Structure 1
Amino acid sequence: MKLKNILIPFAGVLLLTACEKDHRNDNLTDPRVYIVNNGVQNAIYYDVEETIDYNIYAYSSGYFGQPSEVKVVPDPDAVEALNAANGSSYTLLGEEYYQIVKDTGSITAEGRRATLTVRLDCKGIMALPYMNDYVLPLRLSATGTEVNEKLNTILINPRMQETEVLAENAGVVESDLSATDANTLEFTAYTEFNNKWDSEMEYEHGDAVLAAYNAEHGTQYIPLPESAYTFTGADLKAGSNKAVSTIDIDKSNLTADRYYTLAVRLKSNSKFKIGEKNTVLYHISLLPIYDSRSKWNLVSCSSYYTGRGPELMIDGDLVTRWESRYNNTGEGDINPNEASTVWDMGKTYYWCGMTLVRRSDSYVTDLRAGYIELSDDGKNWTKAQDFDFGDKTNTSTTGTYAVEQWTVSGRYVRLAVNASNRNKLYSVSEFVPVLAEKTK
């Protein structure tokens, strides 16, 4: 009896609770249909295309999916509203320049997206004045689901992108062919766009191309003899944005005491323009090029300030520097007419040029000019290179000096500085020779 009296009230509470309205979904958002890529959207097409298809994505949001039918229609008023809101000056794209090839779609509870498609007449649009200033406004409507009125409009802005073919690594490419089996180079023509077409490439290479480059740039590159290489050109194929041509080098009649240079230029393409980056110069060495400074031994330095010795010229650090002595602190000559440093490089090398880096502060112009000498014995010297940064108007920190034919070699190297733009004060941040080991 007591148990019955206890259970009856408890059962009543359960009954009342069961009749209470379920509020678990009260804070969940209702489904809304909208355009994912809404607002102004660029439709990029290439100057060789006839038409392109641009997709519009309608999506149903909300916690629960809800089936609906969607449709897009032109909305000319949206252009005026956009211009008024943003201060822009877009023009309505005429209906003769597009076709809505799929204007309706179905959204299911499981698959919440529908794709609608517009086809743009690229050739026609390119013929328009101010061709990039047109927009096609489309508005989304739906049955079965409410539309998000803030996200239901897209304004498609067709924009033409020029197609061009470029040369990979355009400029001078250092090419070490010192290994016995190193006989092949590659020239790569490429596009920055998704290439969908076959096209034929035409190339220029050899003496005439290099002569034109030397004349334009004031360089003196030595041409690779045309009898010493075979160029096999490649065409661009649909689905690939690269065409790799091969250059087979015959080293049998070449001498190792110089750089040879082969210039290759993109001349034309049957479908695309040729870009400005169209020429590669292969700067070919038949001997290995070294930076052996870590193995050098200092022989002498005629002048240096304490804490800024000659070892700082070859430490690979652009912040540190050698400075000549200018007061009682240091070793050697004070304010010398010339300051020289000698190193033993450990092996005999050809002199192939150098990079010389000056200090990078307000005294960058202190170092003006000097020269490099090489010696086999450390006593008898041959000049290999002069350098001159010029007066104070040249504030460049770096000077690069190339030697194409290697006539000077030696085991010892001497860097001498003898001209300053400030009271015989000299400094060098980095001395980086280009050296080729001389074989017997």
Structure 2
Amino acid sequence: MAKKKGKQNDTERQKVIAVQKKREFMHKLEHICSLIDEELFALISPSKMECLYISRGSAVGVNTKQFIYKSFYGEKFPEMILESINLSLTERTMPFIEKMPEISFAHYYHVVMPLEMCMNTMTEELQGRKACLDFLAGMQERIEAYYNRVMFLCASTSIYFSEMQHSMLKVKVGLEYRNKSEQWKRPVITLTNSKPEKRKFNFKSGEVRSALRMVRLRTDDMIHISIKDGEAHEDKGVFEELSLKPSVFGIRGSHADTPHPVYVLEHALNRLNERTGGVSAGLDQYDAANSVLAGKYTYSTNGKLLIEHRTFGQKSGYLLADITDGIILIRTFLFLTHSSTPEGQKLKEQLGLQKLDINYLAMDRLGTLMNSDILKDEAVCRIFRNAGCGSILELCEDKKDDLGIFRRYEKELPLADKIKKYLASVNAAGDEDADTDDSE
């Protein structure tokens, strides 16, 4: 008897919660209607009101049927991704009505979009109501803004969590009916992933190293969606294996215009993340793939191909590559101040800084510079600019407040004084050597 009473209490409680949720929704709906037209809420018939409520937007769903490699991402990864996307939709806002405060993407999807769908069926009721008709005229633009935001979040998530050594993640937006009574499809994200081709390379030294086929997620079609016939069309983002013609890098010969597949040593990927200091290896690798496709290059003093690498649009170093046996092989990443780069050579020529000096001063890691006080010291900034490393300063300035991209230390590193004192000691030692030479 006690169990039966407990079940009844649970049922009653659920009914009370359902009534409260409906009341809250109707309150929000009435407020939105009043912003459009004071009489709009009253014009909606009871049957259409009920249909509108049934069709209210819910949080974005997730499909994991094709998701593998859970050992790398973890069992709770799908839930974490879903929570992150829904949180962003709740926090970010979009234009709603001219001269009115913006509303969150989640609020638009939950209340406004169902209202728009309902208003679309109220031809007679809205006849001659200019405010309502003007509002409906912007319906397609608002729907596109919402779905494009979801697509952008999916593309960003895909890039952030894709690592060639482990798994390339695709967070795809699909549109599905939640149940048979639905009048319009809802966004559902589907998680899929794959691993790039892996092969071993034998070097003349006898060393054997593993390399991966360089891949990137082509997001061109993922961050824009068009609405046709009142329905959103799915994205077409795909994984793209990189291939380039050697002629892009100034190579001449019979096979110079034949596309060569691009491979990257795992060592190069590890060094890239280590030196750029990003919180996501996926972001670093996405920048690397785009840098390779951009095809900007130079050659080191010993004739090695250096492909210019950009981090968030700013030059941060070079990808050292070989072109041999029909492939382009990226062997390592050199930070901009590395002694083998043109900029590193200038630091050596102008200041006498050797490789070990650069390492000691922590000038070989973007993360360290990002967390330091160098931007506050004009003398140190001048050192970087004179050596052609001004792009590093611009990157530090652009991203200094972006906590989600670079690792942050609790305290600012006092690097500027360390650099100046070290250079002063190097100069003093040089003067002493000169005096000794003169006396001899």
TM-score, scaled to structure 2: 0.27
**Structure number having the greater helix percentage:** 2
Higher relative contact order (CA 8 A, sep 6+): 1
Question: What TM-score do the two structures reach when normalised by structure 1?
Answer: 0.27
